[in-house]
Amino acid sequence: MTAAGQARIREVFARARDEHRAALIGYLPAGYPSVAAATDAMAAMVDAGVDLVEVGLPYSDPLMDGPVIQQAVDAALRAGTTTADVLGTVESLAARGIPSLVMSYWNPIEHYGAARFATDLATAGGLGVITPDLIPDEADDWLSAARSQGLGTVFLVAPSSTDQRLARTAHACRGFVYAASTMGVTGARQEVGSAARLLVERTRQVTDLPVAVGLGVSNGEQAAQVAAFADGVIVGSALVRCLLDDSSQPDRLASVAALVADLARGVRRPLPR
């Protein structure tokens, strides 16, 4: 098995680098407002400028997610969204030529079976998994399963990470490193703190992998700020909020597309890097 997923992730960041910009990564949970509607929203994100999609696997105890994502995830679970639906979403995206990773807490993967999940995700065309609550020290089973299928393994570093922890985490990553811009739960913020820049600088001292920053970006101006020092800009809550209102699905998709267009202009803004 070749490292197909890892290679595709590298291609996404390499293409953005060749265009002298940061990659734009967008998150939406599978199954909200329905499985089909979520897939269409993810496709709309890519049409508007997202380079890589994070497909959220709905989980009943999303401790690191803020209220916006929790509301959507809870609705998806109440509608009966399953892990199989998440894999089906990935497969649908792959059929459209859209690169995606799964964002999942560890418990659903462990319950499904690490080896089985890695195999089924690779078969569906997924590129890897972001595991926000799993640390490399406790990830031997997952690392073995994922790498046997060529999947990317993306772990989180935070401003509080010690130098030793940061190096260990970055070493376990395949694809890119997820730098959490601040401590706390996900959610759009008025500004992205200066801690994110320092965290990216520290991470680059221990890895050659791209470093993408998430937690807090909600508009093009903030995206431009992060793109000035990071290899990727990750947006979640602001996109999910576009789907939470009571408008029609076409209006929701238009709202998603408009926000992504603003974000895409931001990561392309010629700021010093």
Which residues are marked as active site?
54, 65
270-to-186, 265, 266, 267 alpha-carbon distances in Å: 27, 10, 9, 8
d(CA 51, CA 268): 12
| Count of CA atoms in the C-beta half-sphere (13 A) of 144 | 8
87-to-33, 122, 241 alpha-carbon distances in Å: 17, 9, 23
- CA 90, 26, 268 angle in degrees (round to 5)? 130
**φ and ψ at residue 149, rounded to 5 degrees:** -105, 5
Task: Indicate the DSSP class of residue 54.
Answer: E
The total of other beta-carbon atoms located within 10 Å of residue 162's CB is 8
